[in-house]
Structure 1
Amino acid sequence: MTVLSSALDPSGPEYAAARETMLARLDEVGAEHAKAVVGGGEKYVARHRARGKLLARERVELLLDPDTPFLELSPLAGWGGDHTVGASLVTGIGVVEGVECLVTANDPTVRGGASNPWTLKKALRANEIARANRLPVISLVESGGADLPSQKEIFIPGGALFRDLTRLSAAGIPTVAVVFGNSTAGGAYVPGMSDHVIMVKERAKVFLGGPPLVKMATGEDADDESLGGAAMHARVSGLADHFAADEPDAIRQARRVVSRLNRPASYGTPGPVEPPLFDEDELLGVVPGDLKVPFDPREVLARLVDGSDFDEFKPLYGPSLVTGWARIHGYPVGVLANAQGVLFSAESQKAAQFIQLANQRDIPLLFLHNTTGYMVGREYEQGGIIKHGAMMINAVSNSRVPHLSVLMGASYGAGHYGMCGRAYDPRFLFSWPSAKSAVMGPQQLAGVLSLVARASAAAKGQPYDEEADAALRTMVERQIEAESLPMFLSGRLYDDGVIDPRDTRTVLGMCLSAVHRAPVEGVRGGFGVFRM
């Protein structure tokens, strides 16, 4: 039998404590998400509405097919910094006229939709997702261009935005720009480099230089409409392909454009979908509040995969890593899930073999993180942990099937790399509110610094200041703890969002649907040299 059982006791004290901790963390994440939703705040939202304009998320909602979900990406971008949470940009995947699309929408209630450094990073990540999964890109544009005080961090890397649009088009991935308001300076190149352009009458303003800049540069007096109005671009310059009467009309025309893109069908038809045998709500109580306490990832899989059916690979070998085959929303997946935290040589070799098998079968891989890294110590170094860990990382690096990663608990050290962390280009990476990621745990890192300082003092024959050492350890532990939390990591776009554990199956189903918009093909003999 390959159907998973469950030993989770929803009536027990451990479950109750874990659930309470998870709900408290979800409340914290929800409060930060709410900041992104309100954008520039009540004053600027009211001003925007007074101009008869829709908000960014209202535009997205009208664009999408009725009653279809929207997978928002990087909603906490910029968290913990000087810029508004969300980075004045909404990005995500939704269905338009039956076609899965990557949608971006400037939020003009935040500094007129101007781009700050996090806006740029968020937009580039969205383009990366569109390119990897061959998703048409729809840009809902209203932006004053670069936030000038931040220009030193935007101007030079910002050119990649326009490069991406041309490369998407060259790869046969359609790009559509719908201009609702200002699209000025560098922002003018978004419609300028898109395949299809729709502009709203008497609202859209697309020009490289506005009236003040033109006056300063040439001495010419010009108004917004003659420089870059929708009517001018529709009748004179030809930049506008479609001339919309108002915002709803522009969105209607965008949907019509998508309906005629003639996109190919999915490259993978999902099989029958069976719900898990166990309640997804119980995922709230699986991960202990203290990540030092291990948990069985099979409890997660039992509430995640179709029919709770999981065909485990090498169940008796390398037990600290659970590997096996399953389906999620009808799509086949190969799963690698950390069981007891530490990765040993056996787990590393098991993972490398499993990844090769998934590539032979053209099956996407799902990585469920809860690892403190690869094992250290004399016995393990002599046993070859470096070459075996490198074997696993080699396999992950050169695998070509789509990778999806979810950080459930710890994701420390090189274990984060071996489990396909951000640097290893997973198609999507999400975190649970319980997740933590850093070079190592806070106590371990502070302890290492303390030991180094002690050794240095001893080598110099100096007395060691125990009081200063205690203060240093406390400071370092607090810093690393704060920098390892999911909202901190998500704010820097080290994941694609912090999600409710109960939504994991839905999120992964949407991601698997998206990745099958491109061919799913594994590597054939293209791995690097494995050190045996």
Structure 2
Amino acid sequence: MTVLRSLLDTRSDEFAANAQAMMAKLAEVDAEHAKAVGGGGPKYVERHRKRGKLLVRERIELLIDEDSAFLELSPLAAWGTQYAVGASVVTGVGTVSGVECVVVAHDPTVRGGSSNPYTGRKVRRAMQISEENRLPLINLVESGGADLPAQKEIFIPGGQMFRDLSRLSAAGIPTVAVVFGNSTAGGAYVPGMCDHVVMINERSKVFLGGPPLVKMATGEDSDDESLGGADMHARVSGLADYFAVDETDGLGIARRIVARLNWSKEGPRPAVRQDPRYGADDLLGVVPVDLKTPFDPREVIARIVDDSDFDEFKPLYGSSLVTGWARIYGYPIGILANARGILFSEESQKAAQFIQLANRSDTPLLFLHNTTGYMVGASYERGGIIKHGAMMINAVSNSKVPHLSVLMGASYGAGHYGMCGRAYDPRFLFAWPSAKSAVMGPQQLAGVLSIVARASAEAKGLPYSDENDAAMRTAVENQIEAESLAMFLSGWVYDDGVIDPRDTRTILSLCLSAIHTGPVRGADGFGVFRM
């Protein structure tokens, strides 16, 4: 039998403390997400409504299929910065006319939908997901272009969005733009670069330069409608492919466009799914309050895979890393999960072999993170930890099957790389509120700096203040702790969202379905493995 047997004591004091701590973190995440949903605040929301316009999430709701799921991505982008949480844009994956699509929708209640540096990060990430997973891209446009005070951070990377729109089209991935209001300056190239463009009567305004700029540059007098209105673009310039009478009509036209794409999945179909044998609510109490305390990832696996059925690979070898085969919502998956945090040589070699096998069988991989990194020390260096760690990283780097990553606890140092962190381009990466990620733990990093500073002072024959050292260590620990938290990393768009652990299985199923829109094929070869 390969069905996992749970040993989690859900009535213990430890479980209750873990669950309480997780719920507190979830409440913080929910509060910040509410700020993103609130847009620019009541004043600007009311102004938007008085103009007879739908809010951004109302537009998405009308676009996607009724009662279907919308997987919102990076909702906490720009958290902890001077910009509004959410970065003035909503992105995600939703089903439109039966086709899974990436949606990018500006929120005009936040500074007129203008783009700041984090908007660019978030949109480029959405476009990457569109390209990698062969998902049509739908832009719901209402933006004043770049937030000009931040132009130095927007101008260069902003140009990548127009380039990538063109490349999506060249790759045969359809792009659609529905223009709800202003799409000016650089923003005018969004509809200009898309395959299909819908404009709305007396609403859409698309021009490279508005009337004031035209007056200043050429002396010509003009107005919004004659310069860039929907009627002009539908009748004269030809930029508008479809002319909508109102927002609802425009969204209906977008649905018709997608319905006529003749789009189909290229990946294999899933088998019949089976629910796990254990409840998702238990996931609230799995991760210890102190991440230094190990936990068994099989308790997580038992609650996210079909029928809690997990066929473990090399269970007696390299036991700090759990590997094996399962299904999620009928989709086959290979899983790598950290058990005791540290990756030794055995775990690294085990992972490399397992990744090769997954590529041979065209099976996507799921990485469940809780690692402090690769083991250090004289005996481990002599044992070849560098070349064995490099073997694992080589396998991850050159693997071609789709990767998914979930940060459950710690994800530090090169262990983050070996477990397919953000730098290694997993198709999707999510974090639990308990997750932390950095070069190393706060205490370790502060301790290293202290040792180096003390040695430097001794080499120069200078006195070393223990009092100053303690103050330095405290300051560094506080800084690294703050910068390793899940919401901080999500603010930088280093993940695709901080999620409720109870939603993990559902979110992974949506990701796997999106992934299988394109073909799923493994690598034909890998780099040189140092033996």
TM over 0.5: yes
The code of the aligned residue for 1:407 comes to L
Inter-partner Cα distance in structure 2 for 1:158 and 1:81: 19
- TM superposition outliers: structure 1 runs of 4+ over 6 Å: none
Calculate the aligned-residue CA RMSD, in Å.
0.5
- Partner residue, 2:527: 528
Distance 1:19 1:353 in 2: 35
2:4 matched to 1:4?
A: yes
Measure, in 1, the Cα distance between the counterparts of 2:261 and 2:193.
17
Partners of 2:447 and 2:267 lie apart in 1 by: 50
Task: Read off the aligned partner of 1:528 and give its amino acid letter.
Answer: G
2:73 equivalent in structure 1: 73
For residue 265 of structure 1, report the CA deviation from its aligned partner: 2.9
The residue type paired with residue 291 of structure 2 is L
Aligned amino acid, residue 221 of structure 2 = D
**Partner Cα distance (1:268, 1:208) in 2:** 44
Deviations 1:66-99 (A, max 9, x none): 1100000010110100100000000000000000
Counterparts of 2:521 and 2:309 in 1: how far apart (Å)? 24
Equivalence for 1:402: 402
2:146 alignment counterpart: 146
SS in 2 for 1:454: helix
Output the CA distance in 2 between the equivalents of 1:307 and 1:286: 19
What do residues 399-441 of structure 1 show as CA deviations (whole Å, max 9, x unaligned)?
Answer: 0000000000000000000000000010000000000000000
Q: Corresponding residue for 2:429? A: 429
Is it true that 1:231 corresponds to 2:234 in the alignment?
A: no
> 5+ residue gaps in structure 2?
none
Contact 2:265 2:518 in 1 (8 A): no
Matched to 1:203, the amino acid is R
Aligned residue number for residue 160 of structure 2: 160
Aligned partners of 2:270 and 2:330 also within 8 Å: yes
Worse-superposed segment, 261-270 or 505-514: 261-270
3-state SS, counterpart of residue 337 of structure 1: strand
AA in 2 matched with 1:254: A
Residue 173 of structure 1 is matched in structure 2 by 173
- Residue identity matched to 2:433: P
Whole-Å separation in 1 of the counterparts to 2:18 and 2:468 = 35
**Alignment correspondent of 1:24:** 24
CA distance in 1 between partners of 2:30 and 2:281 (Å): 17
Q: 2:176 touches 2:197 (CA, 8 Å); kept in 1? A: yes
The aligned counterpart of 1:287 is 287
* Distance of 1:522 and 1:303 partners within structure 2: 27
- Conserved? CA contact 2:367–2:404, under 8 Å: yes
Offset at residue 456 of structure 1 (A): 1.3
1:56 is matched with 56
* SS at 2:102 equivalent: strand
Total equivalences in the alignment: 531
Q: Offset at 1:266? A: 4.3
**Aligned residue for 2:338?**
338
What CA distance in whole angstroms lies between the structure 1 residues aligned with 2:55 and 2:266? Answer: 32
Unaligned residue ranges in structure 1 (runs of 5+): none
How far, CA to CA, are the matches of 1:267 and 1:374 in structure 2?
A: 35
- Counterpart in the other structure of 1:315: 315
Q: State, as a whole percentage, how many aligned pairs show the same letter.
A: 76
Listed one character per residue, the Cα deviations across residues 476-510 of structure 1 (whole Å, up to 9, x for unaligned) are 00000000000000000110000000000000000
How far residue 464 of structure 1 moved from its aligned partner, in angstroms, is 1.6
Any conservation in 1 of the 2:369–2:408 contact (CA below 8 Å)?
A: yes
Q: Does 1:366 align with 2:366?
A: yes
Aligned pairs for 1:100-115 within 5 A: 100-115=100-115
Amino acid at match of 2:461: G
Give the aligned partner of residue 382 of structure 2. Answer: 382
Equivalent residues of 2:332, 2:363 under 8 A apart: yes
One-letter identity of the residue aligned with 2:264: P
Report deviation, 1:463.
2.2
CA distance in 2, matches of 1:432, 1:213: 47
Secondary structure at 1:446 match in 2:
helix
- Residue 290 of structure 2 aligns to a residue whose secondary structure is coil
1 CA distance for matches of 2:152 and 2:379?
A: 50
Tell me, what secondary structure is at the counterpart of 1:304?
coil
Paired residues for 1:351-500 under 5 Å: 351-500=351-500
Q: Which amino acid aligns with 1:531?
A: R
Q: Which residue matches 1:276?
A: 276
Give secondary structure in 2 for the equivalent of 1:9: coil
Give the secondary-structure state (helix, strand or coil) at the position aligned to 1:79.
coil
- In 1, Cα distance between the equivalents of 2:300 and 2:245? 50
Deviates most, 119-128 or 461-470: 461-470
Is residue 345–residue 384 contact of structure 2 (8 Å, CA) maintained in 1?
A: yes
Task: Give 2:309's aligned amino acid.
Answer: D
Per-residue CA deviations over 1:354-408 (Å, capped at 9, x if unaligned) read 0000000000000000000000000000000000000000000000000000000
Does structure 1 conserve the Cα–Cα contact (< 8 Å) formed by 2:18 and 2:285? yes
